[in-house]
Amino acid sequence: MRKKIAAGNWKMNTTLDEGLKLASEVVHMAKDESLSETTIMMSVPYTHIESIKKTIGNATNVFIAAQNCHQELSGAYTGEISAAMLQNLGVDCVVLGHSERREYYKETYAELESKTQIVLKHQMTPIFCCGEKLATREENAHFDLVKEQLSSSLFELDAVEFAKVIIAYEPVWAIGTGVTASDEQAQEMHHFIRHTIAKNYSDSIAKQIPILYGGSVKPANAQTLFSCPDVDGGLIGGASMDAQGFIDIAKSF
């Protein structure tokens, strides 16, 4: 059975004090017995990682993620952070290829391929994002683009490596807009991603890879989205900034 995952992406939000308060509330609420088999993640600013890792403590269902890392081991890259640094802080997962980084920082397929490989080499789990803008969907090219994003950055991994990846499908036209992909649209793309993985690896690997949906997930729509057979949870932005709302989403399974 695939993991059920609620992953909150805080982006560039919260001071350390605000982040610690939010994380403490999430960790406390995550003790609810109904969440014992749900994986809860918080993708937090770099400045918060060490303190929030301590806040998580020995919680068995709460994990910490970073929002990016550099593709090189070390070097003269002012302002960047390496996979080794994140691993040393106890980071569990790293979000890679988020649409905002693809657009604002012009991340290339080759860079994301290197980042994925270096994260895996440091025993952390990549949460690899893919998805299309509205214009691409309107041109009916969204399947081709998502396939290209996956094949160009992930499909050089061997089967053992690939089996450790989490995929997050984020229709860019639904991120922070209040517009959510319909259940049918989400399921259709998630099924396509799983089918694409099966063609490049195997059915067994495709069936074990968690595929998350990201794009205006809220408590009001999470249950319907998560009921889709190929949707294994969410990469949640704005709604993860409210502890109760985020936990309500996690309970939607």
Give, to the nearest 10 degrees, the angle between helix 142-153 and helix 109-121: 50
How confident is the model at residue 180, as a pLDDT? Answer: 76
Under 8 Å between Cβ of 153 and 81 = no
Give pTM, 2 decimals. 0.97
Can you read off the two tokens belonging to residue 49?
């990682």
> Quick count: other Cβ atoms within 10 Å of Cβ 116?
24
Q: Tens of pLDDT along 126-147?
A: 999 999 999 999 999 999 999 9
Q: Tens of pLDDT along 111-131?
A: 999 999 999 999 999 999 999
- For residue 215, give the 3-state DSSP assignment: coil
Long-range contact pairs involving 182-187 (C-beta distance under 8 Å, separation at least 24):
183/224, 183/225, 183/227, 183/228, 186/213, 186/225, 186/228, 186/231, 187/228, 187/229, 187/230, 187/231
Can you read off the two tokens belonging to residue 140?
């009916």
Torsion, Cα of 173, 226, 127, 240 (10° steps):
70
Spell out the residues 6+ positions from residue 76 whose beta carbon is closer than 8 angstroms to its own: none
Q: Tens of pLDDT along 206-245?
A: 999 999 999 889 999 999 999 999 999 999 999 999 999 9
The upper half-sphere exposure of residue 66, i.e. CA atoms within 13 Å in the direction of its Cβ, equals: 28
Res. 178: pLDDT tops 80: no
**Is 80 known to be catalytic?**
no
Q: Which domains are present in the chain?
A: 4-250 (3.20.20.70)
How confident is the model at residue 174, as a pLDDT? Answer: 83
Q: Tens of pLDDT along 154-165?
A: 999 999 999 999
Q: Tens of pLDDT along 48-99?
A: 999 999 999 999 999 999 999 999 999 999 999 999 999 999 999 999 999 9
How confident is the model at residue 175, as a pLDDT? Answer: 78
Annotated catalytic residue, options 107, 132, 170, 190: 170
Q: What are φ and ψ of residue 65, in 5° steps?
A: -125, 150
Per-residue pLDDT band for 169 (boundaries 50, 70, 90) equals: very high
How confident is the model at residue 1, as a pLDDT? Answer: 81
Give, to the nearest 10 degrees, the angle between helix 16-29 and helix 243-250: 40
How confident is the model at residue 200, as a pLDDT? Answer: 98
**Is 98 known to be catalytic?**
yes
- For residue 140, give the 3-state DSSP assignment: coil
Annotated catalytic residue, options 98, 122, 142, 190: 98
Place of tokens 């996690």: 250
